[in-house]
Structure 1
Amino acid sequence: MATTSHRALRLLSLLGSRATWRLRDLADRLAVSERTVRRDLDTLRELGYPMVTVRGPDGGYRLGSGHTLPPLLFDHDQALAVAIALQTAPSSVFGLQDDTARALVTVQQAMPDTLRAAMESLRLTRLRNYWEFPAPSIDPAALTTVGTAVRLRHVLVAEVLRPDGTRAAPGEPDFTAAHRLEPHHLVVWAGRWYLIGHDLDERRWRVDRVDRLHPRPTGRRFTPRELPGGDIAHFVMSSHDRGDTPAAWQRTGSARLALPAHVAARWAPGGSVVEHLDAGHSRLTLGAWSWAGIAGILATFDTDLTEVQPPALVRACRQLADRYAGVGEPGSARPG
């Protein structure tokens, strides 16, 4: 029974991947007889999936209109979880980009219109980072509000929150007034969610951490603008005021790298902060359980380091260099 169920799901996936399949081709892909395929098609019909027979020399079978599929029993929060999971899964398991993209489309086709809209609100751009870490806590309602505004091109009113999630009161040194934003792109990088938007009050583009925003919808549409430079990844990496702070570690240090920001950001550990300095240099701020741990991570970038801070990190880098200098060739005597 498990084999039959698995084969039926594969058959359903194949039928959803292109307009029409010949019976012989389906049998070849599933490695079964044509009779077995017909039986599986009947099984799918009994479950409520519309299997359409196409007559003629180029005929075969195809999946009927998506709106007749049985709706998946997901509530709003479950739909949100599915959208996030399918879009962020490739960051932790390599080789899933195509599979998760197809799965997302398949799930959306089977959903009622209201839940499909909720999932489409969270279409995001991923900037690849090879050291992933758990994302900061984000209010699902805020994420939905931002995603919907990006999709519908609606202006947002957003208040900027402190790192601890509180809002500064008027008169406090770090108080900032709410911003009217045109939200253009929702981006996830290194476990953080960012909103690229145009600030209508300050008349400039900005990048904000979604977990640092308290957004409110306005329902007022805006006309999309051209992002300066047109490169979403470069714009995020080169924005110094996007609200990043290093993750909490026992030790935190920084160094100037002879690498452009987009290269450093691609390999930077999760929870670190990459700053764009110029076309060939960036500053990396990161943490670890020890100074030696930070020194070891910096060594993986295989580039010149300057402006290393604090002094304890400088000493750890030198100690690491001395330790490596003492490593002999295989079979050679170890230094005394």
Structure 2
Amino acid sequence: MLETSARLLRLLSLLQAHREWSGADLADRLGVTPRTVRRDVDRLRELGYPVNASPGTGGGYQLGAGAELPPLLLDDEEAVAVAVGLRTAAGQGIEGIGETSVRALAKLEQVLPARLRRRVGALNAFTVPMLRTPRTQVDPAVLTDLAHACRDGERLRFEYRDHTGATTRRTVEPHRLVCTERRWYLVAWDVDRDDWRTFRADRIDPRPPHGPRFPPREPPAEDLAAYVSKGVSTSAYAAEATIRLHVPLAEAARTVGPMDGVLEADGDDACLLRTGAGSLDYLVFHVTLMGLEFEVVEPRELDERIRVIRDRMSRALDRAGERPAD
């Protein structure tokens, strides 16, 4: 009986970790016959786990969604990751998820073994979050819808609101969700524009039904985080610049976030910042307020704007010095 119970737990773990298994693969993993696998699947169904089976050579077993949420099987590392993730989620920009995360975390910690509670407690006690207040919030249902479309490889239809408030209908092949400390983005192939696009998730209004399925494409970049960072901090603006920061890359990264620009090393003691703003004047203040020593690599017009602003500031200081003392 103990051997059967252990095998059922192992079978459940396999079903929860993979979208679909063939009977032969499960039998091989468990070291039993396909007939035993079928009997174990029936036992899981009796316990409330909706295990779907599709016949034929391309068929197999898949854990489906039921009317109620059955117990989930997590190993030690997964349980710790979920607990820490729930704590972090309370501070992220997902509408209405903070209170829900707290309730879920309380339930999880109640059943955690003592050794895992100590690990989670240590992480919580000695971790200080540095999360900015999100400018915008994403409906959790929209975020879940986008994630499912990415996972299932289904075309996604939605209305998209741009920065001016104008709305367009989009049909895309979603690839990945990318999150910064303040926003979520969807990287997807725009079918009508025949190119890769990045969409802010808080501006997406899904319009199902979705589909059909599509074959995966080569992603637009190996490092999607850097790709999105460049798109939202540089390419999206009218004025772009390359700035040499006279500090090592690691030091600059403590000040310059993904929304501020893209960093790359330039020797041991300097790095390059590629960034953008609505105008060259805004770029001057954007870079100056970082509090780091810098020089302009390009465009040269930015040097002239720095001189103009420097002279304006000098004249302001001169006028302040001419005022009589109080």
| TM-score exceeds 0.5 | no
Per the normalisation by structure 1, the TM-score is: 0.42
In terms of fraction of residues, the more helix-rich structure is 2
